[in-house]
Amino acid sequence: MTNKDWECVACTIDRKPDYPDLFDTIIIGAGPAGMTAAIYAARRKMKILLICGKVGGQMMWSSDIENWTGVGQATGPELTRIFFDHVRKVDNDNTHFDLWVREDERVEHISGSFDENFTIKTNTNKTFRAKTVICTTGKIPRTLNIPGEKTAMQGNGLSFCATCDAPLYKDKKMVIIGGGNSAMDVALQLEKFTDSVTILAYEKKLMGETCMMDKIEKSPKISVEYGIDTKEIMLDKNNKVTGVKVLQSGTEKMFECEGIFEEIGQIPATDFLADFITLNKGKEIPTDRTCNTAVPGFFAGGDCTDQIHKQVIVAAGEGAVCALEAHEFILKH
Ligand SMILES: Cc1cc2nc3c(=O)[nH]c(=O)nc-3n(C[C@H](O)[C@H](O)[C@H](O)COP(=O)(O)OP(=O)(O)OC[C@H]3O[C@@H](n4cnc5c(N)ncnc54)[C@H](O)[C@@H]3O)c2cc1C
């Protein structure tokens, strides 16, 4: 993944070797919800471990965020940098705050309870214990699960993040699978790099913001095909993308291309919780208004929960609520 706006931060893993045996809270995820939770929890003098996954979360996929109060307009990577600089400032202030940050690490398993403490295992085989847990794992891209897809996504021409990968496709013939705001956003990003962008929409019309549809309609570089059911991603003998095989109104067709973006929505990143907490049908974590879940001491905020409005500012607000609730919870118990 490359991105001019985002320069990878130095990994802070094990920079502070003196890990406590028991944290007050472990925050899983470093999107707007997780980063805000870390800042709030630190200010309540909690001992915190922030296990980031990929810093920024979905903000890193957005080319334009215009509704973060006080900033007006920023790319997702720019806003991520502002958020994470704040977290790092807290992380570096050893005198006042007890925050440990682990980047590029994922939680794979969680067990326990508030009474016996929670135990978290990560993909680096590390185990951490905490009195409370704040889950802010957000969402990940939905995939089609069709032939060719798994190979194509291993750096062979199938991407999910235009903000990160669009520059890799300079002058290439591109296809975007999807027909909503995300698909249109990607098309408008791609037209800055190439003259040939085709949106393959499942529905008979594009679904989303009218102003984006207007831009798509006016662009000489972007065309839209409707009623598309994508069946297979075609690869050459070197496993590079050569096109997509589809059914369009029942007729088999092939769209040749050198790169594909799949923009068919997101699913909650909650698989690792399957044997820990009951999820709703959409795999979201049920929460109440104060981000409490069915498991005492386990809080959840942002896009991984069943709250309706999936936005940066809502996620950040819920991150703050999670931290304040976790702090209260420890005091009460
Ligand atoms: C293309 C696009 C454009 C958007 N534009 C806007 C916009 O203009 N304005 C707006 O307000 N909102 C926008 N949104 C929505 C906004 O980005 C989300 O609502 C917000 O990022 C949700 O924040 P979150 O912290 O809940 O989750 P996420 O941002 O999804 O972050 C989740 C974090 O958890 C980590 N994680 C996941 N699983 C694990 C694990 N097992 N272990 C450790 N870490 C894990 C991830 O790596 C990530 O760090 C956009 C979304 C997309 C996809």
How far apart (Å, rounded) are the C-alpha atoms in residues 207 and 36?
32
The ligand 1 atom at the shortest distance from the C-alpha of residue 59 is 17
Residue-level pLDDT at 193 = 96
pLDDT per residue as tens digits for the range 284-299: 999 999 999 999 999 9
**Same-domain status, 77 and 113:** yes
* Dihedral of the alpha carbons of 124, 125, 130, 133, in degrees to the nearest 10: 60
Of 262, 294, 323, the residue that ends a domain is: 262
- Per-position DSSP letters for 140-162, written without gaps between them: EE-----TTHHHHTTTSSEES-H
How far the first Cα of the chain sits from its last, in Å, is: 44
Residue-level pLDDT at 165 = 86
Domain assignment present for 221: yes
Residue-level pLDDT at 9 = 41
Q: How confident is the model at residue 320 (pLDDT cuts 50, 70, 90)?
A: very high
pLDDT per residue as tens digits for the range 158-195: 998 887 789 899 999 999 999 999 899 999 999 999 99
Q: Is the dihedral of CA 286, 289, 290, 296 positive or negative?
A: negative
Please give the C-alpha separations between residue 28 and each of 37, 83, 125, in angstroms, as whole numbers: 10, 16, 16
pLDDT per residue as tens digits for the range 254-309: 999 999 999 998 899 999 999 999 999 999 999 999 999 999 999 999 999 999 99
CB contact at 8 A, 94 and 108: no
Of 245, 262, 279, the residue that ends a domain is: 262
Q: Which of 9, 137, 184 to mutate to test the pocket of ligand 1 (most atoms within 8 A of CB)?
A: 137
**Same-domain status, 270 and 240:** no
Domain assignment present for 113: yes
**Same-domain status, 270 and 132:** yes
Question: For tokens 């029942």, what's the residue?
Answer: 250
Q: Phi/psi at 66 (nearest 5 deg)?
A: -115, 10
Whether pLDDT at 4 is above 50: no
Q: Is 312 in the pocket of ligand 1 (CB under 6 A)?
A: yes
**Same-domain status, 232 and 160:** yes
Residue-level pLDDT at 149 = 96
Domain assignment present for 16: no
| Burial tier of 33 (Cβ tally within 10 Å: 0-12, 13-18, 19+) | buried
**Same-domain status, 158 and 243:** yes
**Same-domain status, 121 and 30:** yes
CATH number where 134 lies: 3.50.50.60
Tokens of 92: 């570096």
Give the residue whose CA is nearest to atom 14 of ligand 1: 311
Q: Is 272 in the pocket of ligand 1 (CB under 6 A)?
A: yes
Q: How confident is the model at residue 63 (pLDDT cuts 50, 70, 90)?
A: confident
**Same-domain status, 39 and 95:** yes
How far apart (Å, rounded) are the C-alpha atoms in residues 170 and 294?
49
Domain assignment present for 204: yes
Domain assignment present for 174: yes
Give the DSSP H or E segment for 223: strand 222-225
Cβ atoms within 10 Å of 104's Cβ, excluding its own:
15
**Same-domain status, 172 and 92:** no
Residue-level pLDDT at 218 = 96
Whole-model pTM?
0.85
Tokens of 3: 């991105």
Residue-level pLDDT at 18 = 79
Residue-level pLDDT at 16 = 62
**Same-domain status, 148 and 126:** no
Domain assignment present for 66: yes
Nearest-Å Rg of the Cα atoms of the chain is 21
Residue-level pLDDT at 10 = 40
How far apart (Å, rounded) are the C-alpha atoms in residues 324 and 17?
27
Residue-level pLDDT at 7 = 38
Pairing status of strand 228-235 against strand 241-248: antiparallel
Q: Is 268 in the pocket of ligand 1 (CB under 6 A)?
A: no
| Burial tier of 175 (Cβ tally within 10 Å: 0-12, 13-18, 19+) | buried
Of 247, 262, 277, the residue that ends a domain is: 262
pLDDT per residue as tens digits for the range 102-159: 999 999 999 999 999 999 999 999 999 999 999 999 999 999 999 999 999 988 999 9
**Same-domain status, 252 and 276:** no
Q: How confident is the model at residue 14 (pLDDT cuts 50, 70, 90)?
A: low
Residue numbers of the domain that contains 203: 143-262
CB contact at 8 A, 184 and 213: yes
**Same-domain status, 127 and 180:** no
Q: Could you tell me which residues come within 8 angstroms of residue 227 by beta carbon, excluding any fewer than 6 positions away?
A: 201, 202, 203, 204, 248, 249
- Overall domain count for the chain: 2
How far apart (Å, rounded) are the C-alpha atoms in residues 314 and 302?
7
How far apart (Å, rounded) are the C-alpha atoms in residues 90 and 93?
5
pLDDT per residue as tens digits for the range 78-107: 999 999 999 999 888 777 889 999 999 999
**Same-domain status, 170 and 227:** yes
Q: Is the dihedral of CA 173, 176, 179, 184 positive or negative?
A: negative
> Ligand 1 centre and the CA of 304: distance in Å?
9
Whether pLDDT at 13 is above 90: no
Measured at the CA of 90, the angle between CA 88 and CA 94, to 5 degrees, comes to: 110
> Ligand 1 centre and the CA of 204: distance in Å?
29
Domain assignment present for 9: no
Domain assignment present for 15: no
Residue-level pLDDT at 1 = 36
- Partner residues linked to 138 by β-bridges: none
